[in-house]
């Protein structure tokens, strides 16, 4: 825990203190509201409370150029009858607002609400994945600004070609509490910080950009000088290396992807296609293929929301289900899907702790947490040495995927040529183009250097934006289309 932060409290107690207590609510109020939602034929109903504070600081050329502080709080109520969902939300979390929400949901559902309170009987789960600390206490700006102040000096001292330094720091406190028709109640306090650095280097009239970031569910004290120096060095090195980059080759060729953030390819190319709602609606390239081989032997992919302090982790998801590890592909065989409570019920499956939502004003849906390819048996150097002529990529920028067809494209932000088994000149403009389920079959070597990204990945789905984790060891894809400048 960061020095100066309040002592850690139980996650559930902290959530109650941040959501119910300020609104003058207690579990009895939740019981009455859930009872009002319990119309005949309702399969699922719940209340989701949220209190969230976000602080953002920006560094530009040695000074703090701006900052913001936002507060968002409210409650969402839903009731589901089969696949039909009635949902309403309010920024007011008082008892009168709950009654109004229940009335609105009943009206949307077209049914008559229940009159018997739903008893809260389940014991709230607790966890130790991260401390339920408050990162935005009064006076807490000092350590965050100190982090930013150190970045500019480190970057400019690292290389004389650095001509511009920018950084953005985001600090979030989120408390959530969920109560449902089955009488379960759960709460969580989720601290989170992210730091992004952008470096512009210049030499010989040419400019290039480098980027790096880090994040996690912890305070400023966990970003020690060594970790900060590594972050700055990564961004500076990328910018300076890219000054010498030459146009990327084009055409089908072997590609080696480095460990860590390159796992975003799996997140986009196959992860969304393994979310339960896409399967239920027959919108995934993998629909109906459970038990089939969809990837080469040695390819094992999991989604794990229970990794300590990771940005994609949580003690409970946004439906009150504990974060867990869900195998998706085992040795090339499709074995699992990501499920929220609604889709799991409709598909006769079990929830996997992947019910996530952007805020109280959004409905939950199946979403990824930390999704990554597990280790294989090859040394990273051997993977590179196996390629006579190809590309080695270590960082991606933007990317797109079509869930139905599985087609994707990703633009690299740092890549090199591989020539005769050796990494040679840096290249720019390389774009990887392919089809997710086809690319999986062309993975011929999986390294033993698994790494999860440093805490900067994010994901959008149906207009909802969330933080996630991605990862992989070094891998070889035998053939993938590379687009770039000729």
Q: What is the pLDDT of residues 374-390, one digit of tens each?
A: 999 999 999 999 999 99
DSSP letter assigned to residue 307: S
User: What pLDDT does 212 receive?
Assistant: 96
Task: Give the pLDDT confidence of 138-167 residue by residue, as tens digits.
Answer: 777 888 888 898 898 899 999 999 999 999
Give the pLDDT mean for 316-339: 96
Nearest of 420, 438, 428, 422 to residue 481 by alpha carbon: 438
As given in the structure block, the two tokens for residue 294 are 């969809």
Tens digits of per-residue pLDDT, 65-123? 888 999 999 999 999 998 999 999 999 999 999 999 999 999 998 877 777 889 998 77
438 φ, ψ (degrees, to nearest 5):
-80, -40
Q: In what order do the strands lie in the sheet with 301-304?
A: 333-334, 325-330, 301-304, 370-373, 469-472, 451-452
Residue with tokens 């913001």: 68
DSSP for 366-386?
E--SEEEEPP-SB-HHHHHHT
pLDDT, tens digit (0-9, with 9 covering 90-100), for 222-275: 999 999 999 999 999 999 999 999 999 999 999 999 999 999 988 888 899 999
Q: What is the pLDDT of residue 62?
A: 85
> Residue 78 has what pLDDT?
96
The per-residue b/e assignment along 457-478, b for 16 or more CB within 10 angstroms, e otherwise, is: bebebeebebbbbbbbbbbbbb
Coil/strand/helix, residue 238:
helix
Residue 7 is predicted with a pLDDT of: 38
pLDDT at 16 over 80: yes
Instruction: Answer whether 180's CB lies under 8 Å from 320's CB.
Output: yes
Exposed, middle or buried by CB within 10 Å (0-12, 13-18, 19+), for 208?
buried
pLDDT in tens, 335-362: 999 999 999 999 999 999 999 999 999 9
Of 19, 35, 13, 37, nearest in space to 75 by CA: 19
Q: Report d(CA 222, CA 227) in Å as an integer.
A: 9
Choose among 445, 452, 457: nearest CA to 392. 445
Q: Considering Cα of 217, then 219, then 220, then 224, what sign does the dihedral take?
A: negative
pTM equals 0.94
Domains and CATH numbers, the chain: 11-242 (3.30.2290.10), 247-483 (no CATH)
């Amino acid at each position: 825990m960061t020095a100066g932060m309040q002592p850690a409290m139980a996650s559930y107690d902290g959530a109650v203190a941040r959501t119910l207590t300020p609104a003058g609510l207690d579990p009895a109020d939740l019981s009455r509201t859930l009872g009002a939602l319990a119309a005949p034929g309702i399969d699922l109903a719940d209340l989701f409370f949220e209190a969230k504070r976000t602080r953002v600081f920006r560094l530009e050329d040695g000074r703090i150029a701006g900052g913001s502080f936002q507060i968002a709080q409210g409650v969402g109520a839903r009731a589901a009858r089969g696949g039909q969902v009635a949902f309403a939300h309010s920024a007011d979390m008082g008892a009168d607002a709950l009654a109004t929400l229940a009335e609105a949901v009943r009206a949307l559902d077209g049914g008559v609400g229940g009159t018997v309170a739903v008893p809260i009987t389940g014991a709230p789960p607790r966890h130790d994945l991260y401390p339920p600390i408050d990162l935005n206490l009064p006076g807490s700006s000092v350590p965050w600004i100190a982090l930013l102040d150190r970045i500019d000096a480190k970057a400019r001292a690292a290389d004389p070609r650095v001509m511009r330094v920018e950084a953005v720091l985001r600090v979030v406190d989120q408390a959530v509490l969920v109560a449902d028709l089955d009488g379960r109640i759960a709460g969580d306090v989720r601290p989170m910080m992210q730091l992004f650095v952008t470096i512009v280097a210049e030499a010989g009239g040419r400019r290039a950009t480098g980027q790096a970031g880090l994040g996690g569910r912890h305070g400023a004290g966990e970003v020690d000088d060594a970790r900060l120096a590594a972050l700055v060095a990564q961004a500076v090195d990328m910018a300076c290396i890219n000054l010498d980059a030459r146009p990327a080759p084009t055409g089908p060729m072997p590609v080696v992807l480095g460990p860590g953030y390159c796992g975003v390819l799996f997140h986009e190319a196959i992860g969304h296609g393994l979310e339960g709602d896409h399967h239920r609606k027959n919108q995934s390239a993998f629909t109906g293929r459970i038990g089939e081989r969809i990837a080469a032997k040695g390819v094992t992919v999991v989604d794990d929301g229970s990794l300590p302090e990771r940005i994609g982790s949580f003690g409970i998801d946004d439906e009150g289900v504990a974060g867990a590890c869900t195998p998706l592909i085992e040795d090339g065989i499709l074995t699992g899907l990501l499920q929220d409570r609604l889709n799991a019920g409709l598909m006769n499956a079990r929830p996997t702790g992947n019910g996530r939502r952007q805020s109280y004003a959004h409905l939950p849906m199946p979403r990824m947490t930390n999704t990554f390819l597990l280790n294989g048996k090859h040394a990273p150097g051997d993977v590179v040495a196996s390629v006579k002529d190809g590309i080695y990529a270590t960082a991606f920028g933007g990317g797109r995927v079509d869930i139905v067809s599985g087609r994707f494209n990703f633009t690299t932000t740092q890549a090199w040529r591989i020539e005769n088994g050796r990494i040679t000149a840096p290249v720019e403009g390389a774009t990887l183009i392919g089809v997710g389920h086809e690319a999986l079959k062309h993975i011929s070597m999986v390294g033993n250097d698994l790494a999860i990204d440093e805490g900067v990945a994010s994901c959008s789905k149906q207009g909802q934006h969330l933080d996630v984790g991605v990862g992989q060891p070094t891998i070889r894809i035998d053939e993938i289309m590379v687009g770039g400048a000729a």
